[in-house]
A = this chain, B = another copy of it.
Amino acid sequence: MTTSDWRSRKKAETRRAIQEHALRLFDEKGYEATTVEDIAAAAGVSHMTFFRYFPRKEEVVEYDDYDPMITEVIAARPPEEPPLEALHGAIRSAIEAILPIDGPTILARTRLILRTPALRNRSWIAQQETVVVFATALARRSGAATPDFATTVQASAVLGVMNVVLTTWAESDDADLLGLIDDAFAALQQVSFTVA
């Protein structure tokens, strides 16, 4: 039991160390100019260990472990809430919880992704995976095991919204992320009514 704990803590630390050094180096020298060997050396491990944790170089940027949390938070929303409100609320609480700790990291990462063509690829994939996560969580809330077309459409729309939110946030110097989220969801709500 303690073994497990100890081991997984150690692993999480190694993973984190690699990721941190990677992001720092990417920031300093650029993504393409930073080799896996550089990162491994900086993190004090071998390239083998790097690839054990991140099978492809790009994954070191993309990786986070927010999915289970967000799933939980969405599932916890009252079932009578309409999907938009549920997702809004869930994203809001999740970000609120994450921001104080991981805020700078996320900001740096978002900027890096926006700056680096090779990473936007994976970003898209990650986004598609998040669509599934969101849609599944929504489906669960209403008792279904797997998401249907409508649910997936809604989840994808919200991800589209969040895209703009994060991009805007990353490109500005001191925007208020929570405020942007609220504004964005308001804009989405208005899409069927007022003339933009």
Contact A153 B187 (CB under 8 A): yes
Known: A121-B118, A156-B161. A149 touches B82 (CB 8 A): no
The answer to whether A194 has its CB under 8 Å from any CB of chain B is yes
The answer to whether A15 has its CB under 8 Å from any CB of chain B is no
Which residues of chain B are within 8 angstroms of A139 by Cβ–Cβ distance? Answer: 196
- Residue of B82, B159, B183, B196 near A160 (CB, 8 A) is B159
The answer to whether A158 has its CB under 8 Å from any CB of chain B is yes
Tell me, rounded to whole Å, the shortest Cβ–Cβ distance linking A74 to chain B: 11
Nearest B residue to A156, CB-CB = B160
Which residues of chain B are within 8 angstroms of A142 by Cβ–Cβ distance? Answer: 195-196
Stretch at the interface among A43-51, A62-70, A123-131: A123-131
The answer to whether A73 has its CB under 8 Å from any CB of chain B is no
Question: Which chain A residues in 103-147 approach chain B with CB under 8 Å?
Answer: 117-118, 120-121, 123-125, 127-128, 131, 138-139, 141-142
The answer to whether A12 has its CB under 8 Å from any CB of chain B is no
Which residues of chain B are within 8 angstroms of A154 by Cβ–Cβ distance? Answer: 187-188, 190-191, 196
- Residue of B121, B159, B163, B190 near A121 (CB, 8 A) is B121
Q: Among the interface residues A83, A157, A161, A180, which one has the most CB atoms of the partner chain B within 10 A? A: A157
Instruction: List 11 additional contacts besides A157-B157, A189-B192; criterion CB under 8 Å.
Output: A117-B125, A142-B195, A149-B184, A150-B196, A152-B164, A153-B164, A153-B165, A156-B163, A157-B158, A158-B160, A160-B160
